[in-house]
């Protein structure tokens, strides 16, 4: 097997030493002095993603999540990368997966080419025979109906699936979201909670639960759900954003500030990032004014006794 030095890698890929070091510090590739041809393939993928302004943290979180849910040792080489906004998804085992959210995505490219549009990948949920395979086919049909605009048809199929298999978290999430958009919040909440019980590590389930509880005005419960999502995926930008908004409505600016700052670190471009930075500036400005106002009203007592000395004036 051919091996390449760091200098070879920089020359072949036309990247700088600083870029390579940055990827190593971000945990995207291990630091090493010798690289294989497979390593070059991984670095080419990283170079392309960074050229498209995909955040390094998002790439790292997606890689780690894909290793966990799909059992891949090197997702950048073993699965096909698809950019989805500021994140990346993977095409694997006939499905397109957002591993951070544990969410199946509709694969438009596959649908247009005549391949199977969506199927549940084996590593995410063990595929049984017979009836279970039929449920997978029904799930695919529901996704296709939803994407085609047949919302009621999708609801009917998803209801059939969750009745046959209450542990099918992805179906419960998709059905809950359809009810959420119809403002049937009680039913959506029940389905999101069902998904969290079926899979306690399903990040998207807690995020969606937080959204519906927020809509229902149950902010304390909403905050708890967002916090759970963040505990499972600390760099889940959307959860930080919504949690910051919830804390603002609860009148907790300092708690809100922490999550605006977290969001701005994760997503450093675009209108939502600009809004987060505006909120950070506004909160810091208000907090500085409050501190200054308090300082004018309160002067702390100096400890200890004053050391006074009587000085007589000149005698006349």
Give the residue from 287, 301, 213 showing the smallest Cα distance to 253: 287
CB 266 within 8 A of CB 55: yes
Q: Over pLDDT 90: what percentage of the chain? A: 25
Q: Over pLDDT 70: what percentage of the chain? A: 75
Collapse the DSSP code of 81 into the 3-class scheme (helix H, G, I; strand E, B; otherwise coil) and give the result.
strand
Kindly state the tokens that stand for 72: 């891949």
**Taking residues 250-277, what's their average pLDDT?**
86
Query: Which pLDDT belongs to residue 38?
Result: 73
Output 26 or 302, whichever has higher pLDDT. 26
* pLDDT over threshold 60, residue 215: yes
Residue 105 DSSP symbol: E
Cα 155 to Cα 153: distance, rounded to the nearest angstrom: 5
Question: Helices 37-51 & 6-13, crossing angle to 10 degrees?
Answer: 50
* pLDDT over threshold 80, residue 112: no
Output 199 or 221, whichever has higher pLDDT. 221
Cα 102 to Cα 200: distance, rounded to the nearest angstrom: 12
Domain ranges of the chain: 1-51, 53-124, 125-211, 234-297
Q: The pTM is what?
A: 0.57
Confidence of residue 289 (pLDDT cuts 50, 70, 90): low
Give the residue from 151, 214, 203, 136 showing the smallest Cα distance to 173: 203
**Taking residues 210-220, what's their average pLDDT?**
94
Query: Which pLDDT belongs to residue 159?
Result: 94
Which of the listed CATH numbers 1.10.540.10, 1.10.1660.10, 3.40.50.720, 3.50.50.60 matches domain 1-51? 1.10.1660.10
Most confident of 34-43, 69-78, 149-158: 149-158
Query: Which pLDDT belongs to residue 155?
Result: 93
Query: Which pLDDT belongs to residue 106?
Result: 54
Output 188 or 99, whichever has higher pLDDT. 188
Residues near 82 by Cβ (< 8 Å), separated by ≥ 6?
88, 89, 90, 91, 96
**Taking residues 148-172, what's their average pLDDT?**
89
**Taking residues 234-243, what's their average pLDDT?**
85
Residue that is written with structure tokens 């907090």 in the block: 287
User: pLDDT (tens digit, 9 = 90+) per residue, 64-96?
Assistant: 777 766 666 677 767 777 777 667 788 766 567
Cα 288 to Cα 308: distance, rounded to the nearest angstrom: 37
- Structure-derived torsion over alpha carbons of residues 44, 46, 51, 53, reported in degrees to the nearest 10: 170
**Superfamily per CATH, domain 125-211:** Tetratricopeptide repeat domain (1.25.40.10)
Indicate the range of 44-48, 182-186, 203-207 predicted with least confidence: 44-48
Computed over every residue of the chain, the mean pLDDT equals 76
For residue 236, give Cα distances in angstroms to 46, 70, 86, 94, 240: 20, 19, 11, 26, 7
Confidence of residue 127 (pLDDT cuts 50, 70, 90): very low
């Amino acid at each position: 097997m051919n091996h390449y030095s760091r200098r070879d890698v920089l020359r072949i890929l036309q990247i700088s030493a600083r870029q390579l070091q940055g990827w190593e510090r971000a945990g995207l590739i291990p630091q090493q002095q010798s690289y294989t041809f497979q390593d070059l393939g991984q670095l080419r993928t990283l170079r392309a993603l960074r050229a498209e302004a995909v955040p390094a943290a998002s790439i790292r979180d997606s890689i780690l999540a894909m290793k966990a849910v799909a059992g891949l040792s090197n997702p950048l080489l073993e699965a096909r990368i698809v950019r989805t906004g500021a994140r990346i998804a993977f095409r694997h085992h006939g499905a397109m997966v957002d591993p951070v959210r544990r969410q199946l995505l509709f694969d438009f490219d596959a649908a247009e080419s005549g391949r199977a549009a969506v199927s549940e990948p084996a590593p995410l949920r063990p595929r049984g025979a017979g009836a279970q395979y039929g449920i997978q086919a029904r799930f695919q049909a529901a996704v296709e109906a939803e994407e085609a605009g047949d919302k009621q048809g999708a609801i009917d199929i998803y209801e059939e699936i969750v009745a046959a298999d209450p542990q099918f978290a992805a179906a419960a999430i998709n059905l809950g979201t359809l009810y959420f958009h119809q403002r049937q919040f009680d039913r959506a909440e029940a389905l999101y909670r069902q998904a969290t019980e079926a899979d306690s590590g399903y990040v998207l389930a807690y995020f969606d639960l937080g959204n519906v509880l927020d809509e229902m005005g149950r902010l304390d419960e909403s905050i708890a759900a967002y916090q759970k999502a963040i505990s499972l995926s600390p760099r889940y930008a959307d959860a930080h954003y919504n949690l910051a908004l919830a804390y603002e409505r609860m009148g907790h600016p300092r708690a809100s500030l922490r999550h605006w700052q977290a969001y701005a670190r994760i997503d450093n471009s675009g209108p939502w990032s600009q809004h987060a930075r505006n909120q950070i500036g506004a909160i810091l400005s208000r907090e500085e004014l409050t501190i200054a106002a308090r300082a004018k009203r309160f002067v702390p007592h100096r400890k200890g006794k004053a050391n006074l000395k009587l000085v007589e004036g000149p005698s006349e």
